[in-house]
Structure 1
Amino acid sequence: MLRLDLAGLFCPEVVLRVARAVRENPQAAVFEILSTDPLSRIDIPVYAARNGLTLADQAALEDGVFRFRLARPGLEHAGEGRD
């Protein structure tokens, strides 16, 4: 799992960083994204849908942090246990 801590960044920077990470890490099966931007609750799921990724999990955590887990279809279980 590739973790992106994007807390403190705002639109469009959050999605731009996610897109770059997805593009630069084709072997990564799951991306965990942490964001404090309230619009990321809209932007990240839309990005996933438009780019063939699965929104595996979305949660509001403490202190205004939102967590998203995006998975590449067919690779979701690749490398499990190697976080």
Structure 2
Amino acid sequence: MSEKATLITRDILAIERTRLANERTFLAYFRTAVVFLSAGFAILEMAALEEIRPLGWFLLALSPIILSVGTARLIYVRKHIKKFYQL
């Protein structure tokens, strides 16, 4: 069983859909990180929101964490796709 099975068109398209879904998921993580970052800056800069200032700092700290989780997930899934399906 050392021979690799030839993939049919349906399988190749399924792999491509998985790759696109992986990128789409990363973009969702990226979008969330950008929104948290901008909301954190907005809360810190507005004088009217002085009572929720710790929330602004929390959002600023959470933004790079979300982005790094998204990036790690993108790389992890990409490696597994390449590992199992060499096209």
Asked if Structure 1 and Structure 2 have the same fold, meaning a TM-score greater than 0.5 normalized by the shorter chain, the answer is no
| Rg larger in structure | 2
Q: Bin the TM-score by the shorter chain.
A: under 0.3
Which structure shows the higher strand fraction?
1
Which structure shows the higher helix fraction?
2
Q: TM-score, normalised by structure 1?
A: 0.26
